Chain A
Amino acid sequence: MATTPMPRASSARIHVNVDGVDHLDEVEPRLLLIHYLRDRLDRTGTPIGCDTGNCGACTVDLDGVSVKSCQVLAVQADGCRVTTIQGLAGPDGAWHPLQKAFHEQHALQCGYCTPGMIMAARDLLRETPDPTPEQVRDALEGNLCRCTGYQNIVRAVLAAAAELRRQGAPEPRGQAADVPQASGQEAPA
């Protein structure tokens, strides 16, 4: 075992757009995206529920795909657009239909899993605008909730799906990133 301090890891420069705001940062290559969001950017709306990628509490949207942000390195988000629960409401503050449905259907109790649950459900509804209850359950398999037993979560996702269809504006899948990468550049020592 080493008795001397580990050599300092090199840092990398990244350019990430988080909830509409551009960030240019230097990060350790091993820094997890969730820690970058929470500890560096103070975007604490997305919580951490496990260390094995099982619970899904940290789910965010990375260039149009939902990811568990504890399973992604911050450097992998270079040149990407990240949307978290904090960036989901409209510019006027109007809640996303999923946020509204979770509230109306009592699909949360402690609320710790809710950000990830909503972000994962949003991903499902982009692919499958009119899901069956079974499809909702299967799609949320990677997001654990300990309070609700999931019944009202399923109800809420179905209600939000109906509302999104009514609005007739399925959200487009994220396009190729329009955020320029900063990667490949070593930060000055």
Chain B
Amino acid sequence: MTDTTGMTEQARVREVGRARTRKEDARLVTGQTTWTDNMSAPGLLHVAILRSPMAHARITRVDATPALEREGVVAVFTGRDLAEGLGSLPCAWQVTEDMVLPDHPPLAVDEVRYVGDPVAVVVARDRYAAADALEDVWVDYEPLPPVMDLEAALADGAPLVHAHKGTNHCYTWPLVSGDYESARAAADIVVRRRHHQQRLIPNAMEPRACMVVPVPATGEYTLYSATQIPHILRIMMALTTGIPEQKLRVVAPDVGGGFGSKLQVYGEDAIMLALARALGQPVKWTESRSESYQAQHHGRGQIQDIELAATSDGRLLGMKADILADMGAYLMIITPGVPLLGAFMYPGIYKMDAYDFHCTGVFTTRTPTDAYRGAGRPEATFAIERTMDELAAELGLDPLELRRRNWIRHEEFPFTTVAGLTYDSGNYAAATDRAVALFGYQDLRAEQRARHANADPVRLGIGISTYTEMCGLAPSRILGSLRYAAGGWEAASIRVLATGKVEVITGTSPHGQGHVTAWSQIAADALGVPFEDVEVMHGDTRVAPQGMDTYGSRSLVVGGIAVHEAALKVVAKARKLAAHLLEASEDDLDFADGVFTVRGSPEASKTIQEIAFAAFAAHDMPEGMEPTLNAEHLVDPENFSYPHGTHLCAVEVDTETGAVAIRSYVCVDDVGRVVNPMIVEGQVHGGVAQGIAQALYEEAVYDEAGNLVSGTMADYLVPAAPDLPDLVTDRTETPSTSNPLGVKGVGEAGTIASTPAVVNAIMDALRPLGVHDVRMPCTPERIWRAVRDAAHDKAENSRKGDAS
């Protein structure tokens, strides 16, 4: 760089694109944390919640007297006690006009509808006294029939979850494009498969907690909650409790993971506000893990009937998807909408002429479902990618070749899909070619053939997942057209302080994603200030008054863009002031590395820090300019974000024990331009881990009576370090054309991509043995049984053949 200023300063290295280690870590690795359960307040009372042990029952009597007599117990409240001050918990997504929306009292009043439904709360002086006293709240239940099976629940005469609604049918939502019946009639081949998306428990490592600190004199309340959505929670709590919104402050302190489970407006938040209001004292509740398994929403829970119609050379003509979705007992914040987030993604990356989608929501007497990492899109991606492999097998085509024949080519972008979305950019061939090379695809195929020829009891299987997804929630007008209650914008403000240091205030609410680091990088580049000089603030409605929070891989592509745009506004204001102070025209100013320079007069310059002080002092401002160097920007995205990629998985399946070992896993993801490659890689690692977990390990298991059998962490298999492979990760970079940084979302991509890659690999290993399906999670027992049953069928058929 030519030194034009007389200084020997090096050109600034751009921050965007750098693998910056995280600012967040210092507190986290030293234990200087502010998890909600760490907090206390003078006079704090502790709350424990009594939950229904029955899936479905009428509450005929609650007697809290014995509990009240216990030492340390301050109060006990039943649903009836709190009913007056608390409205129904909100569902923000009335997906159809005729959707059945039952009341959802935060504390059950006269009926319980799932094991874990809260029935009463005990307030005591310490957490042990509160927990002890639960034993002395006596509840009489009159059992009602549980409703556990999605198909049986829809039959005439089925027992009802909400008897007064007269049906377990919540809604049916259609998305029809083109003429599927004609496509089907014209097809040479139609494959029809049923896939089961088991229920999953999100398992963020921090269980939920909330604390409410009231100021009785003024009617103000501060709600500290382990939530992903402090802003949405504030609005919803104002509506549910009647506390005026301006009197309610919501703080999401350090939050230990979410994965959708903390994208929720839980009854406990409302209950705690009601208790603080009733008692005039601070109250805190922290859930135990086992309690969390019943009381936090679950994810997935679908039965998918999928049909693909194609020509004999493997060209897709159409797709039909009929989905039954388990709502659980109540509709929570976006329960009915989760399958809709998937509805647009069933066609995946492929071209076809017709698409016929119907989703029916069904009430059951189980914990409500809602968003879990990917929310609808993992289900959709599994359905298309699993069924594509089945089609390839039936056509005798290599599954990669079938995909190549159908995917949208790079030169066809932007491309409007059969589901009506316009994918802005992508390069599926580039990502696939890279993945194939890293994976050693051809060598593995050769080994697979050899092992098959030798009847090796340990079979090799190769699984493919060429996924895309829609994230970056979301253009507000589209949310409106889908009848979602709110918008999808995001806010950011930037203050350049008198000393030249920078505060970024974001409406996103990170809980592990590294926004403090990434937003610092974005702001530092746009403002030309050092990364270290930027502080990012979030997660407190007093500090960051506007925002739509963090979920749906939206934070960077909406919130990060808001930071970028706010910084550009700051620079624009600074430019005006610099021009004024340098007595130059704005057009004659260059801005680079935080310095305004008059073109042709390099000695005439002002740093942005100098401008910030001048704006603070406000002694000499242009006519009409307001003091201080601040700006705010709200972004409403013009489109969703469409990351994509190719994941390849090789598994070894022991046909004698049913054990699966992942031998290699290659993922090449295209998330557009990357702000921090280290953070992106971390998101991919964690996302893939959760997708593998669905394929191999996890399931929320209920018995026929509606008990959650996998009800503790000892019974539900969250994978540990020995259960997961090392991943080979790489990226291609096809910038998004829908935002100025060219970035795409990454938080959910790994989870969306990986589940079908693993199951496809298992099926690829076992198909030659006559196995056609194994339900997730693909446990050793299920695989062993599938292999045994296939061998039995084969023997049976050959016996019949011999006899005839």
Residues of chain A touching chain B, judged by Cβ–Cβ distance below 8 Å, are: 1-6, 8, 28, 30-31, 35, 38-39, 43-55, 57, 84-86, 88-89, 95, 99, 102-104, 106, 108-115, 118, 133-134, 136-138, 140-154
Contacts and interface: CB of A to CB of B under 8 A. Distances in A.
Contact of B712 (A52, A118, A151): A52
B512 interface: yes
A89 B514 CA distance: 23
A8 B259 CA distance: 42
Contacts of A6: 70-71, 132
A99 B32 CA distance: 13
B66 A1 contact: yes
B257 A110 contact: yes
Given A110-B204, A111-B256, A136-B721, A103 B38 contact: no
Given A28-B128, A146-B204, A109 B31 contact: no
A85 B31 contact: yes
B797 interface: no
Interface in B121-136: 126-128, 132, 135-136
Secondary structure dominating the interface of A: loop
Contacts of B724: 149-151
B38 A39 contact: no
Contact of A85 (B30, B511, B690): B30
5 tightest A-B CB contacts, nearest first:
A45-B31, A111-B28, A112-B256, A110-B512, A149-B689
B13 interface: no
B801 interface: no
B461 to A, nearest CB: 21
Contacts of A103: 21-22, 25-26, 29
10 contacts: A35-B127, A45-B30, A45-B31, A47-B256, A55-B718, A86-B31, A103-B21, A111-B256, A137-B721, A138-B722
Contacts of A138: 721-722
A109 to B, nearest CB: 4
Given A55-B205, A146-B259, A151-B726, A5 B71 contact: yes
A148 B686 contact: yes
B512 A147 contact: yes
Contacts of B565: none
Contacts of B207: 48-50
A146 B513 contact: no
Contacts of A8: 71
Contact of A109 (B513, B713, B721, B722): B513
Interface stretch (B523-531, B611-619, B674-682): B674-682
Contacts of A48: 37, 207, 286
Given A47-B35, A49-B207, A110-B206, A102 B128 contact: no
B25 A149 contact: no
Contact of A47 (B206, B288, B679, B718): B206
B505 to A, nearest CB: 21
B254 interface: yes
A46 B31 contact: yes
B132 A95 contact: no
A109 B514 CA distance: 7
Contacts of A115: 31
A86 B31 CA distance: 5
Q: Which of B29, B206, B690 has the most CB of A within 10 A?
A: B29
Q: Which of B31, B126, B689 has the most CB of A within 10 A?
A: B31
A5 B70 CA distance: 5
A83 to B, nearest CB: 11
B28 A153 contact: no
Given A47-B256, A144-B205, A149 B31 contact: no
Q: Which of B127, B128, B205, B681 has the most CB of A within 10 A?
A: B205
Contact of A89 (B30, B681, B714): B30
A135 B27 CA distance: 28
Given A44-B38, A55-B289, A147-B257, A86 B132 contact: no
Nearest to B676: A106
A48 B490 CA distance: 33
A47 B69 contact: no
Contacts of B37: 38, 44, 47-48
B679 A146 contact: no
A112 B29 contact: no
A121 to B, nearest CB: 10
Interface in B421-448: none
Contacts of B204: 110, 112, 146
Nearest to B132: A6
Given A49-B206, A112-B256, A141 B21 contact: no
Given A52-B714, A99-B30, A5 B69 contact: yes
B688 interface: yes
Q: Which of A1, A50, A145 has the most CB of B within 10 A?
A: A50
Contacts of B25: 102-103, 108, 111
Interface string B191-207: 00000000000011111
Nearest to B138: A1
B713 A55 contact: yes
Contacts of B31: 43-46, 84-86, 115
B116 to A, nearest CB: 15
B642 to A, nearest CB: 23
B21 A106 contact: yes
Nearest to A118: B29
